[in-house]
Chains A and B, each alone.
Chain A
Amino acid sequence: MSETTPTAVDRGFFGEANYPGILGWIFSTDHKRIGLLYFWCIVVFFSVGVLLGLLIRLELFAPGETIMTAQTYNAAFTLHGVIMIFLFIIPGIPAAFGNLIMPIQLGARDVAFPKLNLMSWWLYVIGAALALTSLFTGGGPPDTGWTFYVPFSAQTSTNVSLAAVAVFILGFSSILTGLNFVTTIHRLRAEGMTWMRIPLFTWSLYATAWIQILATPVIGITVALLFVERIVGTGLFDPTQGGDPIMFQHLFWIYSHPAVYIMILPGMGVVSDIIPVFARKPAFGYKAIVVSSLAIAFAGSLVWAHHMYTSGMSDMAVLVFSFLTFIVAIPSAIKVFNWLATLYQGSILLDPPLLYALSFILLFTIGGLTGLVLGAAATDVHVHDTYFVVGHFHFVMFGGTGMAFFAAMHYWLPKIYGRMYDKVVATVAWGVILIGFCVLYISMKVVGMQGMPRRYYDYIPEFTGINQLATVGSWILAFGLLLMFVNLFRGIFKGEPFGSNPWGGATLEWQVPSPPPTENFDDDPVVTHGPYDYKKAGIL
């Protein structure tokens, strides 16, 4: 790298807007501005979700009523779930970092449909606003849990109808982002950007976008049916009218299981992009990682009913879905082994992005293995709907996607803002988060094994000690998160400028200035080597 470290930051795309002030953001069609709009919304919603999580843990600090009533508790965990799933994890990496980075990685000037992209963000904001409105209007906040299972959701007097509309709109936003990304990747690759030169992060977005397109309409029709059932009384899931509640669960999970791959695949993509950079080695098994992303997207669409082992399906169906579930473990494991092989004998730089990526591998592997306990029908029957499940999905969702989101923040945000955070504080924050995480969620798995059901407001006195341990863990975790965010945001606004390529990446986003200019590239780039070819990129 021949460039010298600059003392001031060029304003790049921050300096050019079509409208003054905030209008230049909320009506911008620039993918980087839209990406940042998503990012800041997502950070706000994540903070609200964390706050609710802390309150839930505080309530469970002792048996009986501690700080809130049972009805408030039901609303709190429903809201925690809805916010974290629909407003943080699903859009987190693809909508924020996908928008920020993916077009640059392809050598494009924007996504295929910039106006549609802006519309997706507006739909996201409208959906989020409706979800929040549903808390304070009508019959009070929904108390169904994020799964909206009938018959309860069709009968409860709380504001489920509005929440269903919100989910429908958020789904529409997700669909439009997905089709925008697929079209962009097909149509807007720079000269020389062959399919086998696409960075793994963008590949993971491609697989994710297909799931968004093909699975999301199913949740759309499901919540639409719930809505008309509540409003008009169509009763397609109502046994007294000949309907079948199990069909709701099938339709719900036909989307919502693939949706967990919408959540995890982009995280895997982030890790796949970060590890080679900090190991100073080309990604081991690039093609295998690409194929495994597509294989997860495909196989993940066939396993939905493993959420329903205890719902009254036939034994044959349980066996088939259990078998298919195990198949998904194979492409996931292929990725993990390829990441480890990339690290093997690399010149490893333990910078914050790599640390978060490594914690992804650790926590996701633990979460994945406990997932097998749930995927096997025989063991699942015992731990179904216990805190073991809660511990499991927090390991894969928070330990997986959440950590990948943090890794992406520490990896790419300096690129977008042109300034660097304090790496020592970032490392300390990472350690605190990891400790708090383990104390909190391992406790949940243990208490789940001991038989404590999920979603319960109260528990028997025997579970007090371990619940208190979990609550203390939530405090450590929250402190770590606070430290991480403060350090990161202080850094990107006030930190030292660093030039264009602080980590030594070979993908295209590191070849443009920081922050990138409005049109990303002065001249259309021509790609002559693979995304992790550090020798040809002149980095090694």
Chain B
Amino acid sequence: MSGHVHKDYTGAKFGMWLFLFTELILFGGLFILYAVYLARYPQEFVSAGTELDVRFGAGNTLVLLTSSLFVAMSITALRRGAKGLTQCLLAGTIVSAAIFMINKYFEWSAKINHGIYPGSEHLKELAPGEMVFFNIYYVTTGLHGLHVVIGALLILWTMLMIARGKVTGEDWVLLENAGLYWHLVDLIWIFIFPLYYLILH
């Protein structure tokens, strides 16, 4: 208030880690539901799970992992003073996020065209466990997609701060925190991918 500048990087990162815990627990609720319903309807989960296209999931996994690499590299680049390279790498992350979402759009569209979406007539003809599977699939990947968008916006804002000189090679905790958030988005996908696309095949 009276010009008392206090910057505590450890504290800022500590706070971010706490926030990431809350995100994990938010998704944890969905993973619990997945576990309970998988235990209750193992056969139907397998028959519904094979309808998911592993190519979409694998492609998006590659895209997200690459984007995380870009973020990690951008932090090192900024600390070495390469501002232009940092911005390029972060732009790469945002492009990756866009590719991820476009990919997701086609994946969902294909499903919806087959009449598989929450509340659809076709879905109501399926077995109960299959309905649960597709519903939780839409909720989980939807919530994750929302996080991809939020993460991309956060990185966009960080790029703006870098352009304005508010985030620099000496003062880069915002970039690191944005990066941590992006890694979280990546990490959650690393669990979604096998649970929905691999183990049921």
Chain A residues at the B interface, C-beta cutoff of 8 Å: 16, 18, 29-30, 109, 112-113, 116, 175, 178-180, 182-183, 186-188, 213-218, 220-222, 224-225, 228, 232-236, 241-244, 247, 251, 518-519
Contacts and interface: CB of A to CB of B under 8 A. Distances in A.
B36 A247 contact: yes
16 contacts: A18-B1, A29-B1, A112-B15, A182-B18, A188-B11, A217-B25, A233-B118, A234-B118, A234-B119, A235-B135, A241-B135, A242-B41, A242-B127, A244-B36, A244-B40, A247-B36
B109 to A, nearest CB: 16
A236 B23 contact: no
A277 to B, nearest CB: 30
Nearest to B29: A221
Interface in B11-69: 11-12, 14-15, 18-19, 21-23, 25-30, 32-33, 36-37, 40-41, 44
A217 B118 contact: no
Contacts of A214: 21-22, 25
Given A182-B18, A217-B23, A217-B28, A225 B1 contact: no
Interface stretch (B2-10, B151-159, B185-193): B2-10
Contact of B29 (A112, A232, A251): A251
B28 to A, nearest CB: 7
A181 to B, nearest CB: 10
B108 to A, nearest CB: 13
B99 interface: no
B118 A235 contact: yes
B180 interface: no
A236 B32 contact: no
Interface residues of B, number: 43
Contacts, number: 113
A111 B49 CA distance: 48
Contacts of B119: 232-235
Contacts of B124: 241
A217 B11 contact: no
Contact of B26 (A178, A180, A220, A234): A220
The 5 closest A-B pairs by CB, nearest first: A242-B128, A233-B119, A221-B29, A187-B11, A217-B25
B136 A236 contact: yes
B22 A16 contact: no
Interface of B: 1-2, 4, 6, 8, 10-12, 14-15, 18-19, 21-23, 25-30, 32-33, 36-37, 40-41, 44, 118-119, 123-124, 127-132, 135-136, 138-139, 143
A180 B2 contact: no
Contacts of B25: 214-215, 217-218
A206 B19 CA distance: 16
Nearest to A114: B1
Contact of B132 (A221, A241, A251): A241
Contacts of B131: 235, 241-242
B127 to A, nearest CB: 8
Contacts of B128: 241-242
A234 B36 contact: no
Nearest to B11: A187
Contacts of A243: 132, 135
Nearest to A219: B29
Contacts of B135: 234-236, 241, 243
A186 B8 CA distance: 12
Contacts of A222: 29
A234 to B, nearest CB: 4
Given A112-B11, A217-B29, A218-B29, A234 B4 contact: no
A232 B108 CA distance: 15
Contacts of B21: 213-214
B15 A179 contact: yes
A214 B24 CA distance: 10
A334 B15 CA distance: 32
Given A241-B128, A244-B40, 20 more contacts: A16-B1, A175-B19, A175-B22, A182-B18, A186-B14, A213-B18, A217-B23, A220-B26, A228-B139, A233-B119, A235-B131, A235-B135, A236-B33, A236-B136, A242-B37, A242-B132, A244-B37, A251-B29, A251-B32, A519-B1
Contacts of A175: 19, 22
B136 A180 contact: no
Contacts of B19: 175, 179
Contacts of A242: 37, 41, 44, 127-132
A217 B41 CA distance: 27
A251 B37 CA distance: 14
B27 to A, nearest CB: 8
B15 A234 contact: no
B156 to A, nearest CB: 19
Contacts of B22: 175, 179, 213-214, 216-217
A67 to B, nearest CB: 41
A222 B30 CA distance: 9
A152 B21 CA distance: 32
